[in-house]
Every structure is written in structure tokens, then in C-alpha cells.
């Protein structure tokens, strides 16, 4: 079974249990911390995926880093560790985040521009994402890429709206590369 499917099943289990025990926000906060920690410290992610390091040592690291975490999250880490599946823990956190967003009706959209946008532009993009997705809440992930030259790229689920100058220039270049001139000879 693929890691994605296994991670999805683990995430679904902890999601359902945290809903049942009314600890969803606390568990969600712990998984956000786990994801942020792995993003800021690549060695942590490598340790979790390293098969040479024992499960007990990985569990001790997790317990030390998350000593103030919700007991349900710590129990989950313990179960995952007993099954020797620490390598999928970051995938579980990612899956949990997507299931949490689905449960809370939150649409995550990625906006790439050449500069940091102000609140007015942000609210306009949020309303566009709400219209596209039909969801009531939007989480806008902003990225800055000066290579776009100008414009923006908005990604909502599997839909992408590319209004960047760099893509317009590529399209124009492709049109000029096809020679429409036909000789009368």
C-alpha cells in the first residue's frame, strides 16, 4: 500500500477520534507545529524517515519536542511509533490538514505575485476564490516570484489562473515561432 493511502487512513482515524473527543483544534494545532518544525528543520524530517534510527529514539525525540502537546496527539505518536511508521508522520500531518480544511469548509488557494499584496488586493482575491470554490472560508497562501515580471498566478485545487506577464510573453513567443507567411512562388 502506498504511503499516501496509509497516511490518509491514519489521518482519518485521528481526525475522527479528535472530533469524537472534541479535541480537534488542539490536535490540529499539534499537527501544524509538526509540519512547521519539519519545514524549518530539515534534519528533523530526515530523522523521522531514517530507517537506521530506532523507533524508540524517534518517539523520545517527538515526546521531547511535543511535551506540551495534547495527550491524544502524544498517544497517536506512540501508536505510530509502535507500528514503526514514523516515516509517514509528515504525510499524515499533511493529510490531516487537508481533511481538517474539508471538515471546516476552508479553501486553500496559492497566490503567486511579484510583490507583497495589500489588504484590498487580498480581499479581492479571497472573493474570487470563494466564487470559484463555493467555500465560505479561504486561506490564501501568498508567494512572491519576481520571475513573473508582473501579474499573478492563482491556484485553487486543480484549477490555475495564470495572468502573469511571463506566461503571456511565452505565448507570444510561441505564436511568433510558427511562421504563418506563405510564399506565392
Res 182 pLDDT > 90: no
Kindly report the pTM of this predicted structure.
0.81
User: What pLDDT, on the 0 to 100 scale, is given for residue 37?
Assistant: 96
Strand 152-156 and strand 106-113: pairing?
antiparallel
Closest CA to 106 of 138, 132, 142: 138
Q: What is the mean pLDDT of residues 112-133?
A: 94
User: What pLDDT, on the 0 to 100 scale, is given for residue 173?
Assistant: 87
What gap in Å lies between CA 35 and CA 21, rounded to an integer? 23
The model's confidence at residue 120, banded by pLDDT at 50, 70 and 90, is very high
Q: What are the structural domains, with CATH classification, of the chain?
A: 3-102 (1.10.520.20), 106-177 (no CATH)
Beta carbons of 23 and 70 less than 8 angstroms apart? yes
Res 9 pLDDT > 70: yes
Q: What is the mean pLDDT of residues 161-165?
A: 93
Res 47 pLDDT > 70: yes
Q: pLDDT tens digit string along 63-105?
A: 999 999 999 999 999 999 999 999 999 999 999 999 999 999 9
Other C-beta atoms lying within 10 Å of the C-beta of residue 31: 25
User: What pLDDT, on the 0 to 100 scale, is given for residue 179?
Assistant: 67
How many percent of the chain have pLDDT more than 90?
A: 85
Res 35 pLDDT > 70: yes
Half-sphere exposure of 28 (CA within 13 A, CB side): 15
CA-CA-CA-CA dihedral for 74, 80, 84, 86, to nearest 10: -70
What gap in Å lies between CA 167 and CA 124, rounded to an integer? 22
User: What pLDDT, on the 0 to 100 scale, is given for residue 180?
Assistant: 66
Amino acid at each position: 500500500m502506498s504511503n499516501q493511502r496509509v497516511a490518509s487512513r491514519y489521518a482519518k482515524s485521528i481526525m475522527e477520534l479528535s472530533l469524537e473527543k472534541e479535541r480537534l483544534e488542539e490536535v490540529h494545532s499539534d499537527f501544524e507545529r509538526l509540519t512547521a518544525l519539519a519545514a524549518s528543520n530539515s534534519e528533523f524530517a530526515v530523522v523521522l524517515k531514517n530507517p537506521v534510527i530506532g523507533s524508540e529514539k524517534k518517539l523520545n525525540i517527538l515526546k521531547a519536542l511535543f511535551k506540551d502537546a495534547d495527550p491524544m496527539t502524544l498517544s497517536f505518536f506512540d501508536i505510530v511509533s509502535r507500528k514503526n511508521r514514523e516515516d509517514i508522520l509528515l504525510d499524515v500531518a499533511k493529510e490531516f490538514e487537508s481533511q481538517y480544511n474539508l471538515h471546516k469548509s476552508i479553501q486553500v488557494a496559492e497566490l503567486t505575485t511579484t510583490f507583497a499584496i495589500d489588504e484590498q488586493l487580498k480581499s479581492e482575491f479571497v472573493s474570487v476564490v470563494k466564487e470559484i470554490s463555493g467555500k465560505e472560508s479561504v486561506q490564501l497562501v501568498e508567494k512572491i516570484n519576481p520571475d513573473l515580471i508582473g501579474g499573478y498566478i492563482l491556484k485553487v485545487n486543480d484549477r490555475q489562473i495564470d495572468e502573469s506577464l511571463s506566461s503571456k510573453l511565452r505565448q507570444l513567443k510561441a505564436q511568433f515561432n510558427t511562421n504563418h507567411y506563405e510564399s506565392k512562388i
